[in-house]
A and B are shown apart, each in its own frame.
Chain A
Amino acid sequence: MATINAQPHGEPHGGPGHDIDAAKRPMWARYKHGHHFRTQDDEFDACKTGMWLFLATEVLLFAGLFMSYTFFRYKYPEAFANGSNYLDWRWGGLNTVVLLISSYTAAMAVRNAQLDQQKALQRNLLITVVCGALFVVIKAVFEYGPKWAQGKRPGEWFSYPFAHDAMEPAWWSVYYSATGIHALHVLIGMALLYRCYLRAKRGAYGPTHYTMVENAALYWHLVDLIWIFLFPLLYLIH
């Protein structure tokens, strides 16, 4: 999948005669890789390696949150076992479905770019962004909002009168920190994908150049994957 087809790499540096044709070629075909890379393939590989490394840092960032979750679950078993009872698995489940669909469309977008299917590329990018927005709206309107109103808040803000356990504020601290930081990542991913969409409209991506789409999709899959872990840990385990 990673290879870039056709297009001899020496060509972009050709003589002036080529430039007249070049103006007629779509934006993606006119792309010139960074002068410090030997070939466009090299650049693509480098960008992808960089993205994977960045994803590793994201995994480690969330590892800190998962560690806190494990630590507090072990420390306050009662409060944590009860915590998931406060969450409605149906909202969580719906959001899981929304994200899975968006991951599929993100993957399709990459495929579309590789096959020069410009319309489908734009459509799939847009669907992905809309799904991201839907996720955030569901989270904010149906989950954070009502819970906050009932006093189910983190740390010092906690004021829920019917708590079963004195350590419930700690549960909410972990819940809000983990899902909040995840939601922030959803927003960043949406911004990236939307930027891809805008550039895709100008024909920036195609078979020989789709690095940004590929990387944004990778990032989106990671955001999705983290939710796949958060969902059972927070909503399903009693």
Chain B
Amino acid sequence: MTTIDTSKARDPHGDHGHGHHDLPYLAGKGGFFPTLIDWMTTVDHKKLGVMYLVAILTLFFFGGVAALLVRMELLDPVRIAADGTVTGQLLYSNPEDVNAGNVWYNRAFTMHGAIMVFMVIVPGIPASLGNFFLPLMLGAKDVAFPRLNLLSWYIYLLGSVFGILVILLNGVDTGWTFYTPYSTTTDAGHWRVVYMILAAFILGFSSILTGLNFVVTVHKLRAPGMGWFDMPLFVWGIYATAVIQVLATPVIGITLLLLIFERVFRVGIFDPALGGDPVLYQHFFWFYSHPVVYVMILPGMGVISEVIAVHSRKQIFGYRAIAFASLGIAGVAFIVWGHHMFASMSELGSVVFSALTFLVAIPTAVKIFNWIATMYKGSIALTTPMLYALVFLFLFAIGGLTGLPLATLSTDLHLHDSYFVVAHFHYVMFGGTIVAMLAGLHHWWPKMTGRDYNATAANICCLLVFVGFNVTFFTQFFLGTQGMPRRYASYPDEFQLLHQISTLGSWILGLGFMGHLAVFIWSIAAGAKAKDNPWGALTLEWESDTPPTEHNFAHEPVLTHGPYDYETTVPPKWDPKDWPLPDPAKVAAVHRDHH
């Protein structure tokens, strides 16, 4: 017995004898309102995953529009002619007040940063794909605390509503880091900054609850026979992420709470004018916000591990190394925050944090080498998810490598607060996390929706995103090394060409994403019905129906092979179209002859 037994025929009263038939989770409830109410009160991890996905993609759209506005402004530097006329204020121009345009520019990049970090990238993969697939991959019926899961969704929604409210109130200009005393003293008479900080605080709660839920789920709800090292690597990634979410987020929680106290009640903790200390704020902020970059990237790494193994149809190389590297990254993440504050620390402090930061590169490199080794001699299928996985490898390697000159004190002195940093973190956050999310979305889309998408169109969009990304951000490495500081609406003339190229890139990117949206909408509207296991993958989520039924599996699955045991379950040259898998005994024989 090598296949996983989820036979629907067995045990008609299975699963604690729920009286009703198990329908696809997407089935309507008879009428628009009953269906709507069903979705709004659901505790089904799949529906919650889908709702998160929709919300996150919507906010990604808002954040993206803000980004296009930022690039728009930078198309042309602001020039003041001898007669006082101002040109180049493309976002907003007011001949009376030259600074008005700058304020709008500052708001645009702040809204972009805050939305993308707190509402898109941090919850991104765990809340959407994680919610949907973590229980399925473990062979469970749901997460450990389904009602808590619904609660964290509403908390997320509340946080996002505050974020949107701030947009409607014209936005804030503090930067996504809310550095004090700027964030506690400017924009007096308005509540916008408070709302924005409150949004981040509330979203943190949602993040903690989701993380807690996932940790317990992984501990308690693995299918019978699934040991820790039988878990798919995506689960490891989500697990390590959840641990960081639980341990780091409370610190930003208290920090933001104190910031709100300070702003509303004028309590002096961070504002020097009130006896506080702004560097304390920076320590608190980065103690969370460095670990959180691994909250952003670890789930992405998990997706990439799945996609590369499945689409190369090979046992993942160094399973344990990848799993432990996730935990290693999670551990090191907590001791390197100081590298964001080299400018506000003692020399000794800087040296220590610089040395520690280099440690991060080790587990990261371990993973990259393992993925490449997995592809070696695999039978690679260049599907859309696989293309995105390759894009990930390329972009993330550049992002990781450019972190090293930033971690080196002497070079960071020059590069700090320049476009080099901007390019670095876009290569890791966008080139890493967002690209991984796209890989995962295309990998699991057929399972989630029950529909196929047009692969050719998706591949073209992938190419657009890849080209657009590099045109936009590679140029920014040059801008940074040449001395262009970040967060300015204007610049000396000699930077204009590079800025224009970068803006052009942002349009290509926008086009690519619009294309993806069209492909997805087309797939839902007119896509062919998807097969249960279109890629011939071995992890448990593909054992469910397509789309999965409300209780996921007709019968509790029993694990009988590892997540990547292609060598023993799949014969050479086997095509996923031929699913289900042939008799395992035969496969073993073929493999024996083959060697």
Q: Taking A46-B144, A68-B258, A154-B265 as contacts, is the C-beta distance between A58 and B275 under 8 angstroms?
A: no
Q: Across the interface, do B18 and A35 meet the contact criterion of CB distance under 8 Å?
A: yes
CA distance A182 to B123 in the complex (A): 29
A residues 25-69 with Cβ under 8 Å of B? 34-37, 42, 45-47, 49-50, 53-54, 56-58, 60-65, 67-68
Q: Is A181 an interface residue (CB 8 A)?
A: yes
Q: Taking A54-B212, A56-B246, A173-B276 as contacts, is the C-beta distance between A64 and B269 under 8 angstroms?
A: no
Q: Chain A, 154-195, contact with B by CB distance < 8 Å: what is the 0/1 string? A: 111100000000010110011011000100000000000000
Q: Taking A45-B220, A154-B265 as contacts, is the C-beta distance between A173 and B142 under 8 angstroms?
A: no
Q: Is A13 an interface residue (CB 8 A)?
A: yes
Q: Which residues in B have their C-beta under 8 angstroms from that of A53?
A: 212, 215-216, 246
Number of A residues whose C-beta is below 8 Å from B? 40
Distance from A56 Cβ to chain B, minimum over Cβ atoms (Å): 7
Q: Across the interface, do A154 and B258 meet the contact criterion of CB distance under 8 Å?
A: no
Q: Across the interface, do A154 and B219 meet the contact criterion of CB distance under 8 Å?
A: no
Q: Which residues in A have their C-beta under 8 angstroms from that of B213?
A: 50
Q: Taking A46-B144, A50-B144, A156-B268 as contacts, is the C-beta distance between A61 and B262 under 8 angstroms?
A: no
Q: Which residues in B have their C-beta under 8 angstroms from that of A58?
A: 250
Q: Which residues in A have their C-beta under 8 angstroms from that of B221?
A: 36-37, 46
Distance from A114 Cβ to chain B, minimum over Cβ atoms (Å): 22
Q: Is B565 an interface residue (CB 8 A)?
A: no
Q: Across the interface, do B269 and A174 meet the contact criterion of CB distance under 8 Å?
A: yes
Q: Is A202 an interface residue (CB 8 A)?
A: no
CA distance A170 to B262 in the complex (A): 12
Q: Across the interface, do B258 and A177 meet the contact criterion of CB distance under 8 Å?
A: yes
Q: Across the interface, do A49 and B274 meet the contact criterion of CB distance under 8 Å?
A: no
Q: Across the interface, do A155 and B254 meet the contact criterion of CB distance under 8 Å?
A: no
The DSSP consensus for interface residues of chain A is helix
Closest to B262 in A: A155
Distance from B133 Cβ to chain A, minimum over Cβ atoms (Å): 15
CA distance A60 to B247 in the complex (A): 7
| A-B residue pairs, 5 tightest by C-beta | A64-B254, A156-B266, A155-B268, A170-B275, A36-B141
- B: which residues have CB within 8 A of A? 15-18, 135, 140-146, 148, 208, 212-213, 215-216, 219-221, 246-247, 249-251, 253-255, 257-258, 261-262, 265-269, 271, 274-277, 280, 284, 551
- A: which residues have CB within 8 A of B? 13, 34-37, 42, 45-47, 49-50, 53-54, 56-58, 60-65, 67-68, 71-72, 75-76, 154-157, 167, 169-170, 173-174, 176-177, 181
- A sample of 28 cross-chain residue pairs with beta-carbon separation below 8 angstroms, ordered by A number, consists of A13-B17, A34-B142, A36-B141, A49-B215, A49-B219, A50-B144, A50-B145, A50-B213, A56-B246, A56-B247, A60-B247, A61-B254, A64-B284, A67-B284, A68-B280, A71-B277, A71-B280, A154-B268, A155-B267, A155-B274, A156-B266, A156-B267, A167-B275, A169-B274, A170-B268, A173-B268, A181-B254, A181-B257
